[in-house]
């Protein structure tokens, strides 16, 4: 199944370093396709495909100005990524003990989460 949910599309679009470089370039301003091609050893059709992927993910929009097709970054999907990853912030900001405490609090709050692990805390991180 292609799973066309937008977060998957966004992550897939961001998984290519060429496309991230294009976004970085667009962060400093709208520009043409030919200009976007310049840094890469890649044919223009290849870049055109990358742009189509970025566009489908909503990460850029394309206009028309004479024979140029100026590309502009669109940040909404990036905001969604930031929102998604934010829910994991605790995992890299808190110490392990704080984290484990937090998880215990969550599970306690849940009432009776399926705690099928018998030995409880065998795997202590060094």
Partner DNA sequence: GCATTACTTAACCTAAAGGTTAAGTATATA
Partner DNA sequence: TATATACTTAACCTTTAGGTTAAGTAATGC
- Interface residues with DNA (CB under 7 A) are 1-2, 12, 15-16, 18, 32-35, 41-53, 62, 64, 66-69
Residue 48: closest CA among 59, 60, 62, 33 = 33
Query: What single DSSP character describes residue 9?
Result: H
Q: Taking CB within 5 to 8 Å according to partner kind, which of a copy of itself, DNA, none is near residue 27?
A: a copy of itself
Angle (CA) 49 74 56, round 5°: 35
CA distance 44 to 72: 18
Residues forming the site for a copy of itself (CB under 8 A): 3, 5, 7-9, 11-12, 14-17, 20, 23, 27-32, 35, 63, 65, 70, 72-73, 75-76, 78-79, 81-82, 84-89, 91-92, 103, 106-107, 113-114, 116-117, 119, 122-123
């Amino acid at each position: 199944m292609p799973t066309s949910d937008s977060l998957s599309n966004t992550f897939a679009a961001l998984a290519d370093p060429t496309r991230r470089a294009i976004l970085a370039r667009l962060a400093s301003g709208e520009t043409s396709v030919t200009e976007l091609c310049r840094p890469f050893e890649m044919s223009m059709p290849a870049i055109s495909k990358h742009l189509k992927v970025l566009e489908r993910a909503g990460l850029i929009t394309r206009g028309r100005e004479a024979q140029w097709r100026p590309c502009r970054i669109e940040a909404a999907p990036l905001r969604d990524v930031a929102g998604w990853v934010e829910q994991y912030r605790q995992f890299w900001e808190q110490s392990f003990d704080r984290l484990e405490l937090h998880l215990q609090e969550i599970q306690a709050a849940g009432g009776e989460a399926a705690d099928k692990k018998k030995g409880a805390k065998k795997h202590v991180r060094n």
